Chain A
């Protein structure tokens, strides 16, 4: 079982749709949580951190459920420019410290 699991998709949605991505992680001692965005043949870039109370940044909402070891990302009013791969990242406890551990990513395609 992978430490961070995501549905690879692709999610193919029309402009204006709402789409949700889910991610589960295996290590209950994990500390911090993030969503990154990666465009084709580019490096991952931080989209947003994920807090226990949930947080929102414009059209993007992230939520964390520690009891279920589950993270989500909701994108409202999808734009063509949202097409990318979304990577769930968990700072996994390891040897007294933490290592950013990635899921395989969920591919989103927004079409006109």
Chain B
């Protein structure tokens, strides 16, 4: 399977614990995005990487959230001291960005986080 993959698919954690999610994008894609989606809403942008550089972070991304893409390939999203409001689907997407054009983003199946 050469699509975007995310791990784990589901995560249940106790409030206050730290969690880390992984995303493996499509191999030739230079852009990687993280989104969060709650019931009845569209995906909300969190942050994105161009290769290994994190170029933008949403106001939604509090200090408890951190993302990395150390070698411009896979990425991790860590949430520290989880809160019940962090419960959501975390989606990763990748795309190929060329100078002067932007292509469609392809999504992974998401990691569903439940904070109890």
B interface, how many residues as a size bin?
20 to 34
Q: Is B109 an interface residue (CB 8 A)?
A: yes
Chain A residues, Cβ within 8 Å of B48: 99
Q: Identify which of residues 1-59 in chain B touch chain A, using a CB-to-CB cut-off of 8 Å.
A: 33, 35, 40-45, 48, 50, 55-56
Main secondary structure of the interface of A (DSSP, over half): strand
* Size of A's binding interface in residues, CB under 8 A: 26
Partner of B107, one of A43, A94, A97, A104: A43
Report how far A99 CA is from B97 CA in the complex, Å.
11
Contact, CB under 8 Å: A91 / B102: yes
Q: Identify which of residues 65-112 in chain A touch chain B, using a CB-to-CB cut-off of 8 Å.
A: 87, 89, 91, 94-95, 97-105
Contact, CB under 8 Å: A87 / B42: yes
Chain A residues, Cβ within 8 Å of B43: 44, 87, 102
Contact, CB under 8 Å: A42 / B109: yes
Q: Is B63 an interface residue (CB 8 A)?
A: no
Contact, CB under 8 Å: B109 / A43: yes
Report how far A49 CA is from B104 CA in the complex, Å.
8
Partner of A105, one of B33, B42, B56, B91: B42
Q: Is B65 an interface residue (CB 8 A)?
A: no
Q: Is A34 an interface residue (CB 8 A)?
A: yes
Contact, CB under 8 Å: B91 / A43: yes
Report how far A97 CA is from B101 CA in the complex, Å.
10
By beta carbon, the residue of chain A nearest B97 is A97
| A43-B110 contact in complex given A99-B45, A101-B45, C-beta closer than 8 Å | yes
By beta carbon, the residue of chain A nearest B104 is A46
Q: Is A26 an interface residue (CB 8 A)?
A: no
By a beta-carbon cutoff of 8 Å, the part of chain B in contact with chain A is: 33, 35, 40-45, 48, 50, 55-56, 91, 93, 95, 97, 101-110
